[in-house]
Structure 1
């Protein structure tokens, strides 16, 4: 298992590196068979008005799935403890879902499901060109998935939104947590200014017939 530690506004000392290895390796110990890489990002905010100044973020690549957790506090070591516990819960939840899916979704005899490997180099020979106010860019594989699968991914990455390629339409969608509870989905409009409804109608046609749009 590859473990990468990076820092922002902080020097990664031997003591910090050893503590991260100890905590993170313990957290993923029972999940190493499905974990390929673990990225740890430690940062200290320079803004004195930010309460959780010292942040620990862990991103795990497991079987082509990205699992992420982030915690912050006034103490870096406490943040590492918190994020290690959180990522362990996320991994356990992910493994339970895999086992449940395997049990209830066995392929019929004679059917072989081919898994498409995720390339190690996702950006190829492209060069990232960032606007001056963008400080970080990430690249992820974006295999087609259903909205239900996208919702599961949203819950794994510890964000309030998740971008994915809709398996039904081939378009890029964004699923997000609504402020008042539940989830919403952002879909692109086609050339005539209409969005497609799940039964083939546009959103405007669906509204005229009293149907609901495809949001959670």
Structure 2
């Protein structure tokens, strides 16, 4: 997965970059067709904001999180993306088998 990391009013240090790659990279465990991710880390007054757009086969998934600590915001963001990827993957699988015959008598 190709990852693009951008910082608005925040300097992206190597430990922060490694933390984001570790947390966001774990979504590949649930769904293999993730092509790229664009993560934006920003500071707005007292809030630390993390947002991400993940490009998957067939669409895009977007999530954001705002916390008092940047690492906490990244954790919440990763959890949200994890849930959305699982939900997206379940939508793709067909839960109803078409060869099953029902009789209503």
Question: What is the TM-score of this pair, normalised by structure 2?
Answer: 0.86
Structure 2 counterparts to residues 158-169 of structure 1, below 5 A = none
Give unpaired runs (5+ residues) of structure 1: 106-216
* 1:37 paired residue number: 36
Instruction: Decide which structure has greater strand share.
Output: 2
**SS at structure 1 position matched to 2:94:** helix
**SS at structure 1 position matched to 2:30:** helix
Distance 1:100 1:67 in 2: 20
Instruction: Decide which structure has greater helix share.
Output: 2
Distance 2:87 2:30 in 1: 13
Structure 2 counterparts to residues 178-193 of structure 1, below 5 A = none
* 2:101 paired residue number: none
1:57/1:71 contact within 8 Å kept: yes
Deviation, 1:64, is: 3.1
Question: Does 1:18 pair with 2:12?
Answer: no
Question: Does 1:55 pair with 2:49?
Answer: yes
- Deviation string for 1:76-128 (max 9, x for gaps)? 00000000000000000000001037x568xxxxxxxxxxxxxxxxxxxxxxx
2:54/2:61 contact within 8 Å kept: yes
1:57/1:69 contact within 8 Å kept: yes
Q: Superposition RMSD on alpha carbons, in Å?
A: 1.8
Give unpaired runs (5+ residues) of structure 2: 99-105
**Matched length:** 99
Deviation, 1:30, is: 2.2
Distance 1:70 1:97 in 2: 22
Distance 1:104 1:64 in 2: 22
Distance 2:67 2:21 in 1: 19
Distance 2:97 2:59 in 1: 20
- Deviation string for 1:17-65 (max 9, x for gaps)? 000011111133221x2111111110001x35xxxx1011011111130
**Bigger RCO (CA 8 Å, 6+ sep):** 2
Runs (4+) off by over 3 Å: none
